[in-house]
Structure 1
C-alpha cells in the first residue's frame, strides 16, 4: 500500500501549517498547558478533525484533543490509540518558524538560509546517507523546526484522513489523542486513560525511519540539601562550615570518566547534576538519575548516599537531606507482558518497505508513563532528526513511510483479531 501523491502533499501542507504555530512549553508556568500557543494548535486540530467528519472530537479542559475513528468491521478488535504531542522544546525558540523544503537532496552539506552558520553536515548526520533523492524539510536556521512532535501530529492526521477516505482498509476502533507539555515532563498529568478508552496505543514520536522503541530509561530525581554554618569570615576560623565547599567535594567524588550524560551511551545510565544553588549556610544540588533497570537506579543512589556518609565523617557538623522523587520507569517492564503490541508494529514497518530497528530511548516518552497508567504504549518513528536544535530536519519520504506504517498497523490489528 502506497499513499497517493495528493495525500503526501496534504501531509506536508499540514506539517508546515502546524510548525508555524509557536507551541513551546515552559518549565516554570503555573498554567496547564504551560503556554497559550499549545491551545492554539489544539483548537486547530479540533477543527480539522471535525471537518474530516469525526463526530466525537473533544478538546478537554486541560488542552488534550481526543477523537475516534469508528470500526468499519463487525468483529471484535481492541481499541488502538494513536498519540502525539503538540508542544516543542523550550530550549530553542519556536517563534516565526519558516519551514524550508530542500528538494531532491543530492548529498553534501545543507546550509540553512536564515542563518548560514547553521549547517547540517553529513559527517554529523549519518542518516542523510539514506536520504539521497529525498525532499528534506528544515527551518531557516533561526528557530527549531518543530518536527518533535508536529511531524507525529501531521502523520496521524494524514493517516486519519486516508483511512476515512479508504473504507476498504479494514480496521477496528481507533482513538486519537494530541497531548500538551510533553517536553516539560507533564504530558500525561491529566490524561484520563479510562476516558480515552484504548486498550493499547502508540506514540508517533520517534526518530529515524524504521525505528520502533519499546524501552526507556527508568528515571528518578534526587535533591540533596547540604546544611553548613555561616559566620563572619573575619572570625570564622574553626567555626564556619561552608556548604558550597562541601558541595564541591561531593561533586569531586563522583566518577570523572563514566556515569555522566557526556560520557555514556547505549545502555549506560548516568548521574546528572543539572542544577546547583547555594550560600555558605545551605547548598542544594539537583540530580537526574537514569538507568534502564530499577536495580541500576538503586545502585547509583546508594553510591550517592555513601559519598554523603563519608562527607559526614569528614565534617561531623554537616547536616544534610537526601530526597528521591520517582519520575518514570522503563516501559519495557509493561510491554514485555503484551508482546503483540511491539510485534505488530514491527510487522507494520516491514509492510511499509523498511527494515525494522527495535531500539531504546535514552529518555522518556508519554508512553512510558501511560504504560504504568494501564495503557501499553511503544514509540514509532516520525523520520525526524536533530530534535531540539536549529539544525532539526526531516525527510518527506520518511514521513510518508510513517503514515503508511500507521495504516498498516491498524489493519494488522484487524487481521490478527480474526485468528
Structure 2
C-alpha cells in the first residue's frame, strides 16, 4: 500500500477530543509551563503514544512530550522531528470548547449557535471557497476552537499511528515534540536539544493547506516604564504629572499610517503597544516590535524612544526607562543554509496532491527559535484559519492532507538518503 492509498484517518476524531481539553496559556504567570492544565492534554498524548507502541514517550518536568518512532530502514537517514504546541491563545476563552462539524459545506455563512452574533461569513473568509463539499469544524460561538495548534498535534499523532501500523512506509528515526506555552513566546525555553537528538525538524503550525513557511518575523519585546509625580488630586495643580496620562500621550503619538499592525502587510514591520498598566505614580507600556529584516528592529525601537523623549519633555519632573528583550529571529537566516529541508517539504506537498506555496509568516513559531538552537525547522500547514478567536475553523480534509504530507516527508528523507 502506498501513502496515497491510505483512506482511514483518525485525525478529525483526535482533534475534536483534544480541543475539549482547556490548555490556555497565561502570559502573566511566572511558572513553566504557565498553566498546569496544559499537562492534562500532554498526559493523554503520552498514553496514546505508548498505546501505539512508542515505548519511550514521556512527559518531562517542564511539560514537554518527547517520543521516538524507531527507524525501519537500513539506510543512514537524518533524524527528523515533528513539533506542535498544546497550548491555546490567551486572547479568547478555551474553556468548554464544543466543536461542531458542518458536514458537506456548501458555501453558506456559518452562524455559531451559542452566540448567533458570531458568524463565519463566506465573504470574509476567502479560503472557505476551497472547502465546498468538505467537513468544516468550528467552535460553538463562546470560545476559540483551538486549531492553533491542536490541529497540528492531532496530525502528528495520526501520522504516528499510521507509521506504526504500516511498516511498508520506510523511514529513518522520527522524533515527536509537543511543547507548552508557544502562544506566549516561551514554547522552547526548556527544550533539551541534545535529548531530542534530531537533525532537522518541521513544525505543523501553519494555515492554508499546501503552504510551507521558511520565513518569520524577527521579534523583540519593548517595555517603557514611566515614573510620574503623584499628588493628592485636591492639591495637584501645577504639581501632578500622571504616568497614566503620559503613557496615553505616548501611544497617541505613535504613527497610524505606517508601522502599525492595522496598516501593514506582507513583510512590513510594526510597533504594537499591546498592554498599558499603572497608576499616577508609575505606568508601563508593553510593545511588541516585529520585522522580517532583523536589522530594522533597532530602527523601530529608536523611533519609539524618540516619541517617548518628545512626550516626556512636556513633563519635566517625570522620567522613563526602556527595556528591550529579544524574543525570536527570522528562521530564514538558518533555513537558507539547509535548502534540502524546504525542497523535501515542498515535494511532499506535491506528492500529497497539492501545489506547494512557499510563504512568509507575519508572526513566529516554535520553529523560529528551534532553528537558532540548532534544529532548522520550517513550518508546514496544519489547516486552521482565523486563529485566536471565536471564528476559528479547520476542515477534516485539510487535516488529512497534513497527515499525508508528514508521511511523504519522512518517506522522502529515507528515499533520498
Question: TM-score normalised by the shorter chain: which range applies?
Answer: over 0.9
Other-structure match for 2:383: 383
Aligned length: 415
Offset at residue 90 of structure 1 (A): 2.2
In structure 1, how many angstroms separate the alpha carbons of the residues matched to 2:244 and 2:388? 32
Other-structure match for 2:50: 50
Other-structure match for 2:297: 297
Helix, strand or coil for the counterpart of 1:330?
A: coil
Moved more, 129-138 or 36-45: 36-45
Q: Any residues of structure 2 matched to 1:318-329 within 5 Å, and which?
A: 318-329=318-329
Other-structure match for 2:406: 406
Offset at residue 157 of structure 1 (A): 0.9
Other-structure match for 2:199: 199
Q: Any residues of structure 2 matched to 1:42-81 within 5 Å, and which?
A: 42-81=42-81
Over 3 Å counting, the alpha-carbon distance change for 1:51 and 1:231 in structure 2 is closer
Over 3 Å counting, the alpha-carbon distance change for 1:3 and 1:143 in structure 2 is farther
Structure 1's unaligned 5+ residue stretches are none
Q: Any residues of structure 2 matched to 1:20-419 within 5 Å, and which?
A: 20-233=20-233, 236=236, 238-311=238-311, 313-417=313-417
Alpha-carbon contact 1:26-1:184 (below 8 Å) kept: yes
Alpha-carbon contact 2:277-2:284 (below 8 Å) kept: yes
Give CA-to-partner distance per residue, 1:139-193, whole Å, 9 cap, x none.
Answer: 2222222111111111111111111222121111100111111112211111111
Over 3 Å counting, the alpha-carbon distance change for 1:246 and 1:203 in structure 2 is same
Give CA-to-partner distance per residue, 1:252-273, whole Å, 9 cap, x none.
Answer: 3321221111111111111111
In structure 2, how many angstroms separate the alpha carbons of the residues matched to 1:3 and 1:99? 29
Over 3 Å counting, the alpha-carbon distance change for 1:244 and 1:103 in structure 2 is closer
In structure 2, how many angstroms separate the alpha carbons of the residues matched to 1:416 and 1:187? 31
Over 3 Å counting, the alpha-carbon distance change for 1:233 and 1:89 in structure 2 is closer
Alpha-carbon contact 2:23-2:86 (below 8 Å) kept: yes
In structure 2, how many angstroms separate the alpha carbons of the residues matched to 1:292 and 1:90? 25
Alpha-carbon contact 1:348-1:412 (below 8 Å) kept: yes
Give CA-to-partner distance per residue, 1:112-160, whole Å, 9 cap, x none.
Answer: 2333222211111100101111111112222222111111111111111
In structure 2, how many angstroms separate the alpha carbons of the residues matched to 1:35 and 1:322? 29
Offset at residue 280 of structure 1 (A): 3.5
In structure 2, how many angstroms separate the alpha carbons of the residues matched to 1:238 and 1:223? 28
Alpha-carbon contact 2:63-2:180 (below 8 Å) kept: yes
In structure 2, how many angstroms separate the alpha carbons of the residues matched to 1:274 and 1:395? 31
Moved more, 31-40 or 321-330: 31-40
In structure 2, how many angstroms separate the alpha carbons of the residues matched to 1:406 and 1:253? 47
Over 3 Å counting, the alpha-carbon distance change for 1:292 and 1:233 in structure 2 is same
Give CA-to-partner distance per residue, 1:376-415, whole Å, 9 cap, x none.
Answer: 1111001111111222111111111101110000111112
Offset at residue 343 of structure 1 (A): 1.6
In structure 2, how many angstroms separate the alpha carbons of the residues matched to 1:200 and 1:218? 21
Over 3 Å counting, the alpha-carbon distance change for 1:44 and 1:272 in structure 2 is same
Over 3 Å counting, the alpha-carbon distance change for 1:3 and 1:114 in structure 2 is farther
In structure 2, how many angstroms separate the alpha carbons of the residues matched to 1:396 and 1:336? 32
In structure 1, how many angstroms separate the alpha carbons of the residues matched to 2:392 and 2:294? 33
Moved more, 162-171 or 79-88: 162-171
Alpha-carbon contact 2:246-2:312 (below 8 Å) kept: no
